[in-house]
Chains A and B, each alone.
Chain A
C-alpha cells in the first residue's frame, strides 16, 4: 500500500517535471527541472530495491550530466529566452501525435500481463551487481570499456581546434 502511494507520487512528479522541461522557454530552468526529473527516476530505482542503480543515477546524471549541461549553457553564447518559432499547425500536429502515441501505448499496456520476477529481493545489490559484471555479463562489460575509450578519443577530436 505505502509502496503504491510512493509510486504514484513519484510518477506524478516525474510526468509533470518532464512536461515542464519540454515546455520551458528558459534553457537554464529546463536543465534544472530536468535534474529534478532525473532524481525522481532515482526514486523509482530505490523503490524497486535497486539501491546501487539509484545511487549511480544520482551520481552520473544529477551530479555529472546536469552539471556538464549547465557548464555548456554558461560557456556558450545563447539567448536567455528562446521564442518558439513553431507555427500553430506544427504545434497542433505535435500535440495530436504525442497524444495518439500515449493513448496507443496506454491501451497496449492495459491489456498486457508483464511477468514479475520470482526471485527474492536482494539485500546486497552492490556485490550481486559486481558478481554479475564479472560472470554473466563480463563480455558486454569489457566491450563498454572499449566504447568509453572510443568516446574519449572522440571527445578530444571534437573539442580540438583546427590545426591550420
Chain B
C-alpha cells in the first residue's frame, strides 16, 4: 500500500477555487465574532468578493486536467463548469440579499452558505467514494441549519423533515457504497470500473447501484424521494430557499454525472432505465401537484421537482451530449428558479404575502420585476426565445437521438401541463387588479436585489437567443 504523499508534487493550483472559498468562509465567520453590530453588513460584500475571486481563479485553471491526493480529487472541464454555475448562482443570491435581513447573524448566514458551496465544489471534483460522501455531508449540513434558522414552527418543521429524510438517504447511500466496496475492494471511481469490467453483473452490484440512486435521488428531490422539497422551499427563510433551489441540487447532479458513467459504466443500461423511470415520475407528479398550489414558493417547490425530472432525461440518455445538455439545462433552470425566488423575496420585503393572490396588480407596483418574473415563468415553461426553450430543446433532442422518443414526448406533454400553473402567476400579475380600496403604489426594492434580478433576466434572455455563448465555453 502506498503510504506516502509527495507534497511538492501536489498541484495546488487545482485546489485554488476551493481554498479561496474556505479562506473567505473563515474570514466571514471571524467577522461575525469581532466586528461591531453596525459594520457586520459588510460581510455580505466580503462573501461576494470571495465568490468572485474563486470564479476568477476557476477561469485561470479552466482547461486544467489533474487528479490529486492519490485519486481523491480530480479536476476536469465538467467539474469546472459545474463549479462555475454554482459560484455564479450563489453570487447572485448573495448580491440579492445584500440589503435584506437574513434573519440571523450575517456572519453565520454567509459562512454557512460558503461552507455549503465548498462542499458542493468538492463533490463536483471528488473521484472517490469517501471524498464524495464527506463532500455531500458538507453540502447538506449547512443547508439543514440554514433552513432551521428562522425558528418559526413552519421553518422548524421543514428543517426537521429535511434533516431526517436527508440523514436516511445518506445512510442508504452509504449502504450502497459499502456493498460496492465489498464487491470491488476499491473506493476510487476509476479503480471500481476497472474491477467491474469483464465480470458478469452480480445482483449485489444492481442492489448497490439502486441504493446509491435512492440516496442521491433524495438530494436532487426526484419523485418518489421528493417529500421534503416543497416543505423546505416553503418553510425556510426566502434567501435560504433561493440558494437551495440551485446549490445543493448542483452537488447531487455533479455526483451522479461523475459516479455513474465512470464507476457503473458496465451496468449503464440498468441505471439509464432507472433514471428514465425517475424522470417520468418526477415530471408527472411535480407538474400535476403544482397545478393545485396557491402558495407561490410551494408552487416553485413542486416545479423544482418537475424540473429534476426534465434534468434526469439527460441521465436516461447516458451519452456525453446528454450530460452536456443536462448541465446547460441546469444552468438555465437554476437561473430562472433563483430569479423567481428573488422576486418573491422582493415582495416579502415590502410586507406582501406569498400566495398567488398577492401577486395581483404586481405589474403596476413594480413593472420591471413583473416583467422579469414573467420571463422567468416563460423560461421555466420552455417558451422561445427564452433560455428554457433552448435547454429543453437540447435535452429532448438527445432523447430522440438515443431512441427514447417516448421520453421526449412525455417531456413535451409535461411542459404543456406546466404552462397551466406558470401562466397563473403571469395572469395574476398582469390581468388581476388588487382588491378594492387598496392603493397601487410603486414598490420600493433594494438596489442590489433589483440588480441581481435584472442580471438574471438578462442572462435568461441571452442564453435563449444565443446559447452558443455558454455552449462554446463548455465545448459542446
Contact = CB atoms under 8 A, between A and B. Distances in A.
B151 interface: yes
A117 interface: yes
A146 B115 contact: yes
A121 interface: no
A162 B104 CA distance: 9
B130 A140 contact: yes
B439 interface: no
A109 B204 contact: yes
Given A112-B204, A140-B131, A158 B145 contact: yes
A138 B7 CA distance: 11
Nearest to B111: A153
Interface residues of B, number: 43
Contacts of A144: 134
Given A143-B134, A157-B104, A136 B183 contact: no
A139 B1 CA distance: 18
A113 to B, nearest CB: 8
B2 A105 contact: no
A150 B138 contact: yes
A138 B131 CA distance: 10
B184 interface: yes
Interface in B1-28: 1-5, 22
A160 to B, nearest CB: 9
B310 interface: no
B100 interface: no
Interface in A65-123: 104-105, 107-109, 111-115, 117, 119
A150 B142 contact: yes
B5 A136 contact: yes
Contacts of B351: none
B207 interface: yes
Interface string B106-136: 0010011001101100100000101100110
Given A147-B134, A162-B151, A139 B72 contact: yes
Given A135-B3, A136-B5, A146 B204 contact: no
B198 interface: no
